[in-house]
């Protein structure tokens, strides 16, 4: 059965060459969207787009550094209309409070927060009523994670998303945030195994998530099925953010 929830729509996805972004591109294209996949990983991005086109899907790849105003302007200049923007691009910065360097702090914000702002500024002039923006946050933006630059940049993304939800709604443009927990992606491949074990021990479902458990939520938020969902924050984290650390108490009681 064909799926056409996004038929006739143009969707831009950042950080699209691999991992969660690639899954979002694939899911949107399978629902009938014309997808513009963007990234700085050109070889992987071109390969993804070519593979999906070979399957009959409408996907093109464009180089885009989300922290560059010029790159966003160039992308916008080549588009007539945009119905969906998925600000998925993100980078980890794992230094802790006493060790983080200013350059790394600034780079985390440039990609994780400013990139979304520039995307909204560049593409919303091309968006008709009924369009949708999906910002990809993190459970680190809901709690006090040890990676201070990454955590703070994701908290800031929440504020940006709330302002966009308020200011763009009169034009019929919705803005929502999703907060993935530990998802198996290339971004997490370099994570400290101690962090991985500790994080999963505090996840009630007791396992990592997959990109295919995140992408359907993005498609839903892009579609008319979510036409009255605006300013929402939705976790995809196996219950990680729900217990506020109480899982550690439960674990201790179970072990006693």
User: Is the Cβ–Cβ distance between 133 and 167 less than 8 Å?
Assistant: no
Distances (CA, A) of 125 to 74, 166, 211: 14, 16, 30
Q: Calculate the dihedral angle through the C-alpha atoms of 93, 97, 101, 104, rounding to the nearest 10 degrees.
A: 20
User: Is the Cβ–Cβ distance between 32 and 6 less than 8 Å?
Assistant: yes
- Span 17-73, pLDDT tens digits: 999 999 999 999 999 999 999 999 999 999 999 999 999 999 999 999 999 999 999
User: Is the Cβ–Cβ distance between 151 and 141 less than 8 Å?
Assistant: yes
User: Is the Cβ–Cβ distance between 109 and 156 less than 8 Å?
Assistant: yes
Q: Of these residues, 150, 182, 220, 240, which one is catalytic?
A: 150
pLDDT of residue 59: 98
Rounded Cα distance between 167 and 231, Å, is: 11
User: Is the Cβ–Cβ distance between 155 and 233 less than 8 Å?
Assistant: no
- Span 95-111, pLDDT tens digits: 999 999 999 999 999 99
Flag residues of the chain having pLDDT under 70: 1-2, 249
Q: How far separated are the first and last CA of the chain, in Å rounded?
A: 52
Task: Give the dihedral sign, CA 191/195/197/199.
Answer: negative
Distances (CA, A) of 204 to 200, 209, 244, 245, 248: 8, 12, 11, 11, 10
User: Is the Cβ–Cβ distance between 219 and 27 less than 8 Å?
Assistant: yes
pLDDT of residue 189: 77
pTM higher than 0.75 for the full model?
yes
Rounded Cα distance between 16 and 141, Å, is: 21
Helices (H) and strands (E) in the chain, counts: 9, 7
Nearest in space to 108 (alpha carbons), one of 100, 98, 118: 100
pLDDT of residue 246: 74
Whether 150 is a known active-site residue: answer: yes
């Amino acid at each position: 059965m064909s799926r056409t929830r996004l038929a006739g729509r143009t969707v831009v996805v950042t950080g699209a060459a691999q991992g969660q972004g690639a899954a979002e591109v694939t899911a949107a294209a399978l629902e009938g969207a014309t997808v513009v996949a963007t990234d700085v990983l050109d070889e992987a991005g071109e390969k993804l787009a070519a593979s999906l086109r070979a399957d009959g899907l409408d996907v093109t790849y464009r180089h885009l550094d989300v922290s560059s105003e010029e790159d966003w302007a160039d992308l916008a200049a080549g588009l007539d209309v945009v119905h969906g923007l998925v600000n998925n691009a993100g980078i980890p910065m794992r230094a802790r409070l006493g060790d983080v360097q200013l350059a790394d702090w600034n780079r985390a914000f440039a990609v994780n927060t400013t990139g979304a702002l520039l995307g909204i500024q560049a593409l919303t002039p091309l968006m008709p009523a009924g369009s949708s923006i999906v910002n990809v946050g993190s459970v680190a933006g809901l709690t006090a994670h040890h990676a201070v630059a990454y955590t703070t940049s994701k908290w800031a993304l929440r504020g940006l998303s709330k302002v966009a939800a308020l200011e763009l709604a009169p034009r019929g443009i919705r803005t929502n945030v999703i907060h993935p927990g530990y998802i198996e992606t290339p971004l997490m491949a370099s994570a400290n195994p101690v962090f991985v074990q500790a994080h999963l021990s505090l996840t009630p479902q007791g396992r990592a998530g997959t990109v295919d458990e995140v992408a359907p939520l993005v498609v839903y938020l892009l579609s008319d099925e979510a036409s009255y969902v605006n300013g929402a924050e939705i976790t995809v984290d196996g219950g990680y953010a729900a217990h506020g650390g109480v899982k550690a108490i439960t674990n201790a009681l179970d072990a006693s």
